[in-house]
A and B are shown apart, each in its own frame.
Chain A
Amino acid sequence: DVKVTQSSRYLVKRTGEKVFLECVQDMDHENMFWYRQDPGLGLRLIYFSYDVKMKEKGDIPEGYSVSREKKERFSLILESASTNQTSMYLCASSLRGIFGNEQFFGPGTRLTVL
């Protein structure tokens, strides 16, 4: 089974702190994604990576950055956390191309910024 894990299920941080969310997948997938999930808004793509060291901005990249140094690991960084970044963060991975129709998700990290 494909497994996508995220470093924390729950995280509480203070305004202005630097926050790292980590995601690891074990199926050698090329694509990895970071989404933000808010009630009534569905999932919004923050960043996407299609290969090591490659990244593309999604719909809401402001206030976030990412790092992909190894194929299996994709990190989301909040340089200076703000209260409006309180949300559920979901990581996902998929194969490239038409075989990448299915995205596999991690359990999510619920981040609260005080």
Chain B
Amino acid sequence: AQTVTQSQPEMSVQEAETVTLSCTYDTSESDYYLFWYKQPPSRQMILVIRQEAYKQQNATENRFSVNFQKAAKSFSLKISDSQLGDAAMYFCAYRSEDSNYQLIWGAGTKLIIKP
């Protein structure tokens, strides 16, 4: 069975600096999808970025980018120019290409932004 591990329960970063959140996963599959979701305090969970395993190029969305290392089964999220609004719980998730729905979730990382 697939598993997703986020080894950092909490991270903090100074405003305007860069922070990297780590995520590793375990799978025997070759085709799958990876996601980072953000859950701000008392607000809805939203998708930040996604990566298809067959794509070698790392996904980017404005200040958010990933470092996808397929062989190492690593999928880290880099947030550049951190802003106060980035403070949230961040969850890494995995989806098998064969699955219509099942996301396997990491435990989450709480990101604190210091002004």
Interface residues on A, range: 20 to 34
A residues with a Cβ closer than 8 A to B are 4, 31, 33, 40-45, 48, 50, 58, 90, 92, 94, 96-97, 100-103, 105-108
Tell me if B46 counts as interface (CB < 8 A to partner A). yes
Choose from B42, B46, B101, B107 the contact partner of A100 (Cβ within 8 Å): B101
Contact A40 B100 (CB under 8 A): no
Chain B 11-57 interface residues, beta-carbon cutoff 8 Å to A: 33, 35, 42-47, 50
Contact A42 B91 (CB under 8 A): yes
Contact A101 B9 (CB under 8 A): no
CA distance A102 to B102 in the complex (A): 11
Contact B100 A107 (CB under 8 A): no
Choose from B9, B45, B91, B101 the contact partner of A50 (Cβ within 8 Å): B101
Contact A102 B47 (CB under 8 A): yes
Contact B44 A107 (CB under 8 A): yes
Instruction: For the complex formed, measure the closest distance between the CB of A34 and the CB atoms of chain B, giving whole angstroms.
Output: 12
